């Protein structure tokens, strides 16, 4: 056990792409948990696009304050407990932050979830965690797929997108993925079972989308925004649905990016564009995790994890998401 | 009875604001109805923003072809019938077109509806017609208002918008209207019972919207698109809904107008933006017309009609909609 707590604190609100200089990397004493708190040794951090938003302004959660530890999901082991419901050795996941040790009220608003012993953290933070829940509720509750429909997902090789397409297949839909790079596209069709994949970096998205979706797009699950959202709107089928999950192409924009000029497809096609956030659906997390775990056990949900090493690389690892360098779930191992 | 049929035929697809020169005004013999058809003497034409779209490209209906009579809703009296279900003297409403006489298959896909004798055509073509159905289904089925919510409608002094606000009031909501000009705004608050009205020509829409909707906008019923849509999106309440009914500000645009840059409010607020077209709801027209007629009889739905005179003024009268010159339902009387 190290006797210091390394922490990344927010120094300045990033303008555009986040830089190492936007943060201070400090060493502090390992905190003592207060009464009702637990002390968690952080083992693995999850990297999620929504973290970029938390560094900006108050939205669905308050922004991280200047001088505060950078907010991040992660998982680790309880090393001290002053909470009757948790014991030393318990494995937990939650908003542990970019640090070696987190003193947390585990049952507070930003509490932690206890994981079954020996849960692989890669699964707990990905397919059976936030990404799995996001794909599950976003596709099923907001998109409401019916067998035979065509589901298009952007950011398709990412941790959420790859699950969206695979759940669409489980529900009897055609799945078309849009991703950046031949290797990601190959994985989508050859491993994850997508019907088609479009490499937006090398191919004409509009043409390829038309070819892959001859009857239009029934559900477009959007992780990226920008021109790809417009291309999908232009091809929306009658009563098509656009599930707004994110807009990674614009999170680092310094100017407000243009809106989707083809939004009137929603009128002509009697379509629906709807946003959602997973915390609204947490009451049904058990149902979702149960289904996801079953599909994993049945071999129906493949995933990829991209594990970087070392807390000192936290900003660079988060940046990989916005550079499209991650292949699948981006994780950062803090300690083995 | 005149012995010629004056008709406005589409000469060229309008670019930008429609001009008289986009049409030919011709005289033809009064047609003979074929077996199964009726001959309608057109008395009143309805002017509707969606007509602009019909002159462009195929959308939810095929575009009007070059050389065809300009498509328009209207009402008139049957003067000859070769259909067993209709008699001379029947009053009917439907897609009669810009002409004195229309030979129509009344039970075809683009048929007509028989009106009760002595129905005021101003009501049949407005509050109890397409505009009433549009407000009814758009607000109630797509917007799904709950008592106490704040409903904002643009184009609020128009035939549809004014009904949306009044139905919102009937359902226990606060109604805020956006319209162009002090006179229209005065009518909204003093006659139609809106809680607030914003004159987008003279006032700062963003500021006024914030002031009129301190808890945000639960339902935004959009008839105009453009900057007002963006202003409403920026103030969307949690789980807010945007009902896309039209976008009159862009129908005459020659370049694709920018999209709503604030669409990500739908994500952060878990909102929904949904388009609809009334024909999808025709199976429940009787329910809607029944409710609308009852509210009219109870004095709960006020309307204004703006009747211009003379078939020769058809293009100019339709243009009034896009110039914002109509106060309430725009009609054109063809014959007394």
pLDDT tens digit sequence for B90-120: 999 999 999 999 999 998 877 899 999 888 9
Q: Return the C-alpha torsion angle A214, A219, A224, A229, nearest 10.
A: 60
Q: Chain B residues with CB inside 8 Å of A272's CB? A: 272-275
- Is B272–A272 a contact, with Cβ atoms under 8 angstroms apart? yes
Q: Determine if residue B109 is left, alpha or beta; phi over 0 gives left, psi from -120 to 50 gives alpha, anything else beta.
A: alpha
Instruction: Give me the domains of chain A, ranges plus CATH numbers.
Output: 4-122+304-333 (3.90.180.10), 130-279 (3.40.50.720)
Question: B38: alpha, beta or left, given left = phi > 0 and alpha = psi -120 to 50?
Answer: beta
The pair of structure tokens assigned to B218 is 């639960």
Q: What is the pLDDT of residue A55?
A: 96
The answer to whether the CB atoms of B274 and A263 lie below 8 A apart is no
CA distance B4 to B100: 8
pLDDT above 70: residue B1: no
Give the pLDDT confidence of B164-209 residue by residue, as tens digits. 999 999 999 999 999 999 999 999 999 999 999 999 999 999 999 9
Q: Which bin fits A191, alpha (ψ -120 to 50), beta or left (φ > 0)?
A: alpha
Whole-model pTM: value is 0.93
Closest by Cα among B100, B79, B76, B80 to B27? B100
CB pair distance less than 8 Å for B261 and A262: no
Chain A with chain B: Cβ pairs closer than 8 A:
97
Within 8 A by CB and 6+ apart from B191, the residues are B302
User: What are A70-119's pLDDT values in tens digits?
Assistant: 999 999 999 999 999 999 999 999 999 999 999 999 988 778 999 998 88
Distance CA B259, CA B253 (A): 13
The verdict on a CB contact (< 8 Å) between B272 and A270 is no
Mean pLDDT of B288-312: 96
User: What does the block give as tokens for B298?
Assistant: 């109870």
Is there a contact between A257 and A225 (Cβ–Cβ < 8 Å)?
yes
Give the pair of three-digit tokens for residue A14.
């990033």
The closest alpha carbon to B163, from B64, B79, B40, B245, belongs to B245
Distance CA B122, CA B133 (A): 15
Q: B233-290: per-residue pLDDT in tens?
A: 999 999 999 999 988 888 888 887 889 999 999 999 999 999 999 989 989 999 999 9
With a cut of 90, say whether residue B129 has pLDDT above it.
yes
- Answer for the pair B145, B218: CB distance below 8 angstroms, yes or no: yes
Of A244, A259, A269, the CB nearest to B258: A259
Find, in chain A, the residue whose alpha carbon is nearest to that of B276. Answer: A270
Q: Using a CB–CB cutoff of 8 Å, tell me whether B255 touches chain A.
A: no
Write out chain A residues lying below 8 Å of B230, CB-based.
Answer: 259
**pLDDT score recorded for residue B312:** 98
Q: Compute the distance between CA of residue A73 and CA of residue A49 in angstroms, rounded to an integer.
A: 11
Question: How far is residue B59's CA from residue B147's CA, in Å, rounded to a whole number?
Answer: 35
Instruction: Answer whether A252 touches B (CB < 8 Å).
Output: no
Taking the CA of residue B82 and the nearest CA in chain A, the distance in Å comes to 35
CA atoms A174, A179, A182, A184: torsion sign: negative
**Which long-range contacts link A211-218 to residues 24+ away (Cβ below 8 Å)?**
A212/A152, A212/A176, A213/A150, A213/A152, A213/A176, A215/A150, A216/A150, A216/A240, A216/A269, A217/A150, A217/A151, A217/A152, A218/A145, A218/A146, A218/A149, A218/A150, A218/A151, A218/A173
**For A245, nearest residue in chain B (alpha carbons):** B267
pLDDT over 60 at B2, yes or no: no
Could you tell me which of B241, B248, B231, B223 has the C-alpha nearest to residue B161?
Answer: B223
What angle do helix axes A226-233 and A205-212 make, rounded to 10 degrees? 40
DSSP A280: G
As a residue count, chain A comes to 336
Q: pLDDT truncated to tens, each residue of chain A (336 aa)?
A: 558 999 999 999 999 999 999 999 999 999 999 999 999 999 999 999 999 999 999 988 999 999 999 999 999 999 999 999 999 999 999 999 999 999 999 988 778 999 998 889 999 999 999 999 999 999 999 999 999 999 999 999 999 999 999 999 999 999 999 999 999 999 999 999 999 999 999 999 999 999 999 999 999 999 999 999 999 999 999 999 999 998 888 888 888 788 999 999 999 999 999 999 999 998 999 999 999 999 999 999 999 999 999 999 999 999 999 998 998 999 999 998
């Amino acid at each position: 056990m190290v006797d210091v707590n390394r922490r990344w604190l927010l120094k300045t609100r990033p303008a555009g792409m986040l830089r190492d200089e936007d943060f201070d990397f400090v060493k502090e004493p390992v905190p003592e948990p207060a009464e009702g708190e637990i002390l968690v040794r952080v083992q693995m951090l999850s990297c999620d696009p929504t973290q970029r938003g938390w560094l900006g302004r108050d939205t669905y959660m308050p922004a991280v304050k200047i001088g505060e530890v950078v907010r991040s999901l992660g998982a680790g082991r309880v090393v001290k407990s002053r909470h009757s419901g948790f014991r030393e050795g318990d494995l937990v996941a939650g908003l542990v932050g970019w640090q070696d040790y987190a003193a947390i009220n585990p049952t507070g608003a930003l509490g932690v979830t206890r994981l079954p012993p020996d849960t692989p953290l890669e699964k707990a933070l990905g397919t059976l965690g936030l990404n799995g829940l996001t794909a599950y509720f976003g596709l099923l509750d907001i998109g409401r797929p019916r067998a035979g429909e065509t589901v298009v997902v952007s950011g398709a090789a990412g941790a959420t997108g790859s699950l969206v397409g695979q759940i669409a297949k489980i529900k009897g839909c055609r799945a078309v993925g849009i991703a950046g790079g031949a290797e990601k596209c190959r994985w989508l069709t050859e491993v994850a079972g997508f019907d088609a994949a479009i490499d937006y970096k090398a191919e004409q998205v509009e043409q390829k989308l038309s070819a892959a979706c001859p009857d239009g797009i029934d559900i477009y699950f959007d992780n990226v925004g920008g021109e790809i959202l417009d291309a999908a709107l232009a091809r929306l089928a009658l009563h098509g649905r656009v599930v707004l999950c994110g807009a990674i192409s614009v999170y680092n924009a310094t100017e407000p990016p243009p809106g989707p000029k083809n939004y009137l497809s929603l009128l002509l096609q009697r379509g629906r564009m709807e946003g959602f956030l997973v915390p609204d659906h947490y009451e049904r997390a058990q149902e979702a995790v149960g289904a996801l775990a079953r599909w994993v056990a049945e071999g129906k949900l493949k995933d990829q994890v991209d594990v970087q090493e070392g807390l000192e690389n936290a900003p660079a690892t988060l940046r990989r998401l916005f550079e499209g360098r991650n292949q699948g779930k981006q994780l950062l191992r803090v300690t083995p």
